[in-house]
Structure 1
């Protein structure tokens, strides 16, 4: 029964810290998904714009950040960002090392990677929208902004949801790599607990189970969102 006390929420238990680590992992993933959504939208627009330079930049972005190891991107953002912050601090009269906050570095790094995958998801979703619907909206004189808001965006979100679910799972697992910056997310907390108690097998199994809980709830959430959007479109077509 000693393992129950070790995983408990008492003064000698690690349960509270593991729960905080899981919430931190969730927060990093949510923040990175937001960063990736902004970058992915811009890159998808660049690749669909028909502009040769914008298309080249978009292709370069997705090729680079889908091709290099995620850990390398995290190192570049964390240490490169810390160097930039330190240089800026010295220019303003501050002395010593000024590190980039681990949470911010992790959210940006995982977000940049997520953005490369989200760009392809949004691009594919846009291409799946039937051209006839856009032409029909144009024919009745619907303004461009209203056409974008009422016709294009809802369908892009509908077609993109399955892909975004995969990107979310990828980002959730990539967040474990942020532990190298010292952020006490789930992976880092599991490592510290395992090293402190010498019960490596126990804490790594518990950490893996918590990741499975997060991914299982995520699957359910995205499944519910897909069902909701599908129902809305069926109603709009008069099939419900």
Structure 2
């Protein structure tokens, strides 16, 4: 009897009650959202960090308001506000110019929303990393005749990344888990797929544990990549030898 039970459990796990493709699709959705949102966040973070370090108040103050507001409001509230605000603004604009109603694609809205939210966190990460780069490095680059763009990409950016990688890794892991919020705007991510499968089969606990294991697998691989990047950007420092 025990053997039959174990065989039944094994077959159930392998087949996933027919929800295997749904879970794979949800996992792929989560990965796409995470990676594209990461790109948006990094771009906004670099721009925000440069703006916060600017000597011009008209540039610095909006960046400070951006990071203060976003980091002070829960992600779920921001998700709802930004998503429905974008749709409202688009509807008002199309009505004003006489166009037909346009609906924002939920996937694009999810990427923009997550990228905008976590861009504030990356702003602070990059700002701290930029401040950690010795000013003498920039002055030496200028003395050698390097332009501002060359100075940033050849001198400042590689050294900045060494200081920023711990914060980048932390932000990435939080961003990855925050993709579960997109289910409220109609996207079938991994968590939504697990919930649907669990409710349909009355095995919600099993499918949620399975989703947690998938997240753990992704974060484990992410930590490996981050360690490799840390070694790459730490050449010549103590961290590279560890």
> What is the distance in 1 between the residues matched to 2:91 and 2:13?
40
Matches of 1:4 and 1:54 in 2, distance apart?
A: 60
CA deviations 1:172-214 (Å, max 9, x no partner) are 0111111111101101111111111111111111111111111
Q: CA deviation at 1:89?
A: 4.1
Q: CA RMSD in A?
A: 2.1
**Structure 2 residue 51 is the aligned partner of structure 1 residue 46:** yes
Change in 2 beyond 3 A, CA 1:150/1:204: same
What is the SS of the residue equivalent to 2:145? coil
Does 2:34 align with 1:29? yes
- Structure 1 partner of 2:100: 94
Give the C-alpha shift of residue 146 in structure 1. Answer: 1.9
For the pair 1:173 / 2:163, whether they are aligned, the reply is no
Aligned to 1:19: 24
Whole-Å separation in 2 of the counterparts to 1:121 and 1:76 = 25
- Pick from 68, 73, 77: which aligns with 2:73? 68
Match of 2:64 in 1: 59
Q: Deviations over 1:112-157 (max 9, x none)?
A: 1110110011111111111111122222332222222211111112
Match of 2:112 among 87, 90, 108: 108
State the alpha-carbon separation in 1 of the partners of residues 12 and 172 from structure 2: 31
Separation in structure 1 between the aligned mates of residue 85 and residue 151 of structure 2, nearest angstrom:
42
1:136 to 137, 140, 143: 140
State how many pairs are aligned.
Answer: 232
Runs of at least 5 residues in structure 1 that lack an aligned partner in the other structure: none
* Structure 2 runs not aligned, ≥5 long: 1-6
